[in-house]
Structure formats: C-alpha cells, structure tokens
Amino acid sequence: MMRLNSVQRWVARSIAIALVSTSLVGSRTQATPQVRFEPPEGGAPVETKGGASRGDIACATSTSRDTPQIVLVTPANSNYGLTTSEHPTFLMYVPPSSAQKAFFSIKNAKGQVHYRQLLTVPQQGGILRLTLPKSVPSLAANQSYEWGIVLMCGGRLRPDSPFASGWIQRIQLANKVSTNLKKQSAMDQAATYGASGIWYDMISTIADLKQQQPQDPAISQTWRQILDAAGLTKITPAPIVN
C-alpha cells in the first residue's frame, strides 16, 4: 500500500511540475506582444518625394543583383514616417562597398540644414544607426523634415553619388498614451508605437532590443516580421551598426 502511495505521489508531483512549466511557457508567450505597424490616417501632410540612387553603385564590392543598394528603413511603399522624439533615431542600410564614409543630413521643409554628419561605413555593409545628438536643436512638433544619406565613393561627394532620402514628422502623443508608455516594457512600447502609426519610435525600439539581446528568438522574429511587412526582407540579416 505504501509503495502505491509513493507512486501516486510521484505521478502527482510530475503532473504538477508539468502544469507549472506549461503555465510558465504560456506566460512567456503572452509576455511577448505582437508588434504590427498600422499606417497613420491621412498620410504625409506635405509633398514628400524621396530620392533614391539609380543603377549600380560604382564602389560596390558585390555584383550580385540580389544585393540591395542604399535602403532607408521606412514604412512599406512610403518614405514618410512619424516620431514623438525630439531627437529621433534613423536607420539606413548601405551595401558592401569600398566607400569609407557616408554623408548624413536632415533639413526642414524650407530646405534649411538642421544637422549633418559624416558617418563611418563598414566595408561589409550593414544597417547604420544614427540618433540626433542632444546638443542639436529638437525637431519642432508638427513639422516635417527631409533626411538622407549619400555614399561617398572615392572619398568625396559627386553629382552621381548614390543616395536615398525620406521624410519624418514629429508629433505629440495624447497624455494618456504617453503615461501608459512609461509603465510598459520596451517591447510593449514598440507595440503601442506600431498600433499608433509611429514608425520611427517603433523600429528604433526594436532595433535597440535586437542589439541588446541578439540571441533572443522573439526579438529576432519581431524584427524580421516588421522588415518583411515593410518590403525590406533583403536587409533583414544585415547587422546593425552604431
């Protein structure tokens, strides 16, 4: 009789452990929100015709047609996006090339330069990440800015230098949404930004997480899904470079 009770206790304990494990797995799954980008209603408030390089990059080290050229990490079928940040982060892909530098600039709707900087370009290519320094004046609320990058083949800017440009507008969140964001985890914040149509804050938050936790499968999957949905599948494997 005692032996039977021991077996029963062992079975009961095993079932309890299995139930707890299942519960923990379920909790982890629920803790990873689904991040989706919902484009804002109304579209771009100004005419935002972005530029893009055409043809092959003269200093490219890869001749494969599958290698993307300069690509801005912006929403699908658009070069325009929103931010709530006074000093937002920009992400842009550059292909493998012999260029050592790239020229980044951002200017207001009147064409006045707001900030510019030379960037070091990795020869193997990658997604460059640039955050406007705190020393730079804040982006004005409800104003649009054009930003872009030029690859300096041969170490200088030329009329045929490969380039790409896009637009960003800073908006202000409702107080309730802003308060809720302060209580959320980074991934929850990304989900909130995505649902609110705020592209730049969403994608930079996920990029931060990917750099901080490169081995996390949930973060990698979210990064891949967001880029795939934006039509940026080819640059998904590229490393993020500060």
**What digits encode the pLDDT tens for the residues 56-104?**
566 777 666 667 789 999 998 899 999 999 999 999 999 998 899 999 9
Closest CA to 200 of 102, 101, 106: 106
Please tell me whether residue 30 adopts helix, strand or coil conformation: helix
pLDDT in tens, 1-58: 444 454 344 334 443 434 444 344 444 444 567 999 999 987 665 554 545 554 456 6
Q: Is the four-CA dihedral 56, 61, 64, 69 of positive or negative sign?
A: negative
Spatial contact of 219 and 52, defined as CB atoms under 8 Å apart: no
List the domains of the chain with CATH numbers: 71-237 (2.60.40.1220)
pLDDT at 194 over 60: yes
Range in 61-70, 146-155, 178-187, 203-212 with the lowest mean pLDDT: 61-70
pTM of the model: 0.81
Backbone conformation region of residue 180, classed left if phi is above 0, alpha if psi is from -120 to 50, else beta? alpha
26 secondary structure, DSSP code: H
Range in 47-56, 178-187, 219-228 with the lowest mean pLDDT: 47-56
Helices 217-229 and 199-212: crossing angle in degrees, nearest 10, is 150
